[in-house]
Amino acid sequence: MLKIALIRQRYAHDGGAERFVSRALDALKSHAVQLTLITREWHGAEGFEVLRCDPFYLGRLWRDWSFARAACRAVRRGSFDLVQSHERIACCDIYRAGDGVHREWLKQRARAQGPRGRFATALNPYHYYVKAAEKKLFQSPRLKAVICNSRMVRDEIRQYFKVPDSRLQVIYSGVDTCAFHPDLKQHRDQVRSRHGIPDDAILFLFVGSGFERKGMAALLEAMAALPANTFLLVVGRDRHASRFHAVSEKRGMAQRVIFLGAKQDVKPYYGAADALVLPTLYDPFPNVALEAMASGLPVITSLKSGAAELIENGRNGFVCDALDVPTLITHLRAVTPTMARIMGERARATVEPMSLDRMSLALLDLYNSLLRTSDL
């Protein structure tokens, strides 16, 4: 029986990486395999053995370092045939680069920071640790394959670490096109009524946690330049959310920009909106973009979002630089009810082939290829 380990420091059934892990498990169901999840903390894990590695820590640097050491010890003891990690850990055969390249994130973040912010980032030892862990991972002789969730991430890994193309596999995340469907428009009236949004208003939707990274500052600046019949629903959490609330109130947008916090079910909000807006500073591939497009929404995102690879300007959405607020305003103003409907239909057609089954088949092909190679 094959023994396969999946490494994820925290496993929550509703996370983006965890949905990918779930599909990886589905891809392996037809094989006689023993699956083990190596994790510090888990919620809702089903269908596999859980091996808990939870060493003491203080602070995120110690947290990541101690988990990496404990996970690698568990790998050595387990004698696994394949080890797939979703963390920057060098003792794996497959690494899913779901977080992209940390060096590139810091580069993009610096563009939006002031001198004090850049100075603080430069002095933060955590970033030195992550960059060193990335380098060690990509130089590991054990590493056989890197799953990239966009061509953008593939190219960045090639650029920064000179990983050969033969090890870089682009496998886009899949989307449940039955759950996320234009029929969600049935929630439109109810959601709008609940939040005091007129039926004829243009409603933009932002979904994501970590507002700084996801471009909330630029989005609020753009919203301030839009007409009074333009609204924004913000679904997600951020420990500094009060700052963005204050900006919205200061700009007189408290009635037009509505912060909802985290929601377990985002589908009704896709149904209520005219477009998804995610002007992210850096996002390897946001699953929310796939969900929105499958729900019949055009997507407005940034050049450093992996989802930009699916967008044709003016056809199924818009793409601009994350800090180019004037162009973002132009794109937002271009969204009318008619344009939203037409572009939304095209967006749906774009992602219909990106099914969960297709992602599972791609994963299965990769696993089979690596297992055949190991048998030689």
pLDDT at residue 351 above 90? yes
How far apart, in whole angstroms, are the C-alpha atoms of residue 306 and residue 284?
5
Tell me what pLDDT residue 257 has: 96
Confidence of residue 359 (pLDDT cuts 50, 70, 90): confident
pLDDT at residue 61 above 70? yes
Per-residue pLDDT tens for 230-285?
999 999 988 888 899 999 999 999 999 999 998 989 999 999 999 999 999 999 99
Per-residue pLDDT tens for 91-101?
999 999 999 99
Question: What mean pLDDT comes out for the span 196-205?
Answer: 96
Per-residue pLDDT tens for 140-150?
999 999 999 99
Tell me what pLDDT residue 291 has: 95
Confidence of residue 28 (pLDDT cuts 50, 70, 90): low
Tell me what pLDDT residue 288 has: 94
Check residues 20 and 7 and name the one with the higher pLDDT. 7
How far apart, in whole angstroms, are the C-alpha atoms of residue 229 and residue 47?
48
Question: What mean pLDDT comes out for the span 204-217?
Answer: 93
Tell me what pLDDT residue 53 has: 92
Confidence of residue 50 (pLDDT cuts 50, 70, 90): confident
Per-residue pLDDT tens for 182-191?
999 999 999 9
Tell me what pLDDT residue 376 has: 45
pLDDT at residue 127 above 50? yes
Q: Structural domains in the chain?
A: 2-174+355-375 (3.40.50.2000), 182-351 (3.40.50.2000)
Question: What mean pLDDT comes out for the span 321-326?
Answer: 97
Region of poorest pLDDT, from 24-33, 125-134, 315-324? 24-33
Question: What mean pLDDT comes out for the span 336-360?
Answer: 93
Question: What mean pLDDT comes out for the span 21-47?
Answer: 70
pLDDT at residue 19 above 80? no
pLDDT at residue 356 above 70? yes
Tell me what pLDDT residue 274 has: 97
Per-residue pLDDT tens for 156-199?
999 999 999 999 999 998 899 999 999 999 999 999 999 999 99
